[in-house]
């Protein structure tokens, strides 16, 4: 079985994008500057992956089924509701924070921003995201970060 992406290390391979990101970031400021920040970075990575990324990807699959005759409107409404729950929680947190953890970009910000790309580019129109102004501000500020732009190109 071949899994992608894979990072080949001197000690063996590491697969799955978040595992690779954690491997590369370990010991750096991307995990925060204290034990509590480390835990919060992990917390937001899990939240972003399970609440946002999973439901946005499922929305994409559901919408692709629309053209193939396998579309289920109630499934899409359920997923939209789940995304709204996540966006509301994130919007509340970001009302008083520029970054998810601490005062600078962490791995949680990088992963959350990458998880949002699909949503902001294809699934969540402005009329939807405008209900979450702190999330919008956060996303557009994050993708303007120089290192993000260098890797992903200009957006917005």
Q: Residue 104: pLDDT band by 50, 70, 90 thresholds?
A: very high
- Calculate what percentage of the chain has a pLDDT beyond 90: 67
What is the number of structural domains in the chain?
Answer: 1
Residue 4 lies in a domain: no
Instruction: Give me the mean pLDDT over the 96-114 stretch.
Output: 96
Residue 16 lies in a domain: no
> Distance between the two ends of the chain, CA-based, in angstroms?
38
The token pair at 77 is 């409404």
Residue 92, pLDDT score: 98
> Does residue 75 or residue 41 have the better pLDDT?
41
Residue 1, pLDDT score: 58
Write out the chain in H/E/C secondary structure.
CCCCCEEEECCEEEECHHHHHHHHHCCCHHHCCCHHHHHHHHHHHHHHHHHHHHHHHHHHHHHHHHCCCCCCHHHHHHHHHHHHHHHHHHHHHHCCCCCCCCCCCCHHHHHHHHHHHHHHHHHCCHHHHCCCHHHHHHHHHHHCCHHHHHHHCCCC
Residue 101 lies in a domain: yes
pTM given for the model: 0.87
Instruction: Give per-residue pLDDT as tens, 120-131.
Output: 999 999 999 999
Burial per residue of 123-154, b for 16 or more beta-carbon CB atoms within 10 angstroms, e otherwise: bbeeeebeebebbbebbeebbeeeebeeeeee
Q: Which domain holds residue 53?
A: 30-152
Residue 121 lies in a domain: yes
Q: What CATH number is associated with residue 38?
A: 1.20.1050.10
Instruction: Give me the mean pLDDT over the 61-80 stretch.
Output: 81
């Amino acid at each position: 079985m071949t899994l992608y992406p894979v990072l080949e290390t001197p000690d063996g391979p590491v697969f799955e994008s978040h595992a690779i990101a954690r491997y590369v970031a370990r010991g750096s400021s991307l995990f925060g500057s204290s034990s509590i920040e480390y835990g919060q970075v992990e917390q937001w990575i899990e939240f972003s992956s399970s609440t946002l990324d999973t439901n946005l990807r499922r929305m994409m699959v559901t919408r692709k089924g629309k053209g193939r005759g396998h579309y289920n409107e109630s499934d899409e409404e359920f997923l939209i509701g789940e995304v709204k729950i996540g966006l509301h929680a994130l919007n509340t947190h970001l009302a008083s924070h520029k970054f998810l953890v601490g005062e600078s970009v962490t791995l949680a910000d990088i992963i959350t921003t990458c998880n949002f790309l699909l949503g902001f580019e294809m699934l969540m129109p402005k009329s939807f995201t405008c209900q979450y102004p702190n999330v919008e501000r956060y996303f557009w500020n994050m993708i303007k970060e120089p290192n993000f732009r260098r890797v992903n190109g200009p957006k917005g």
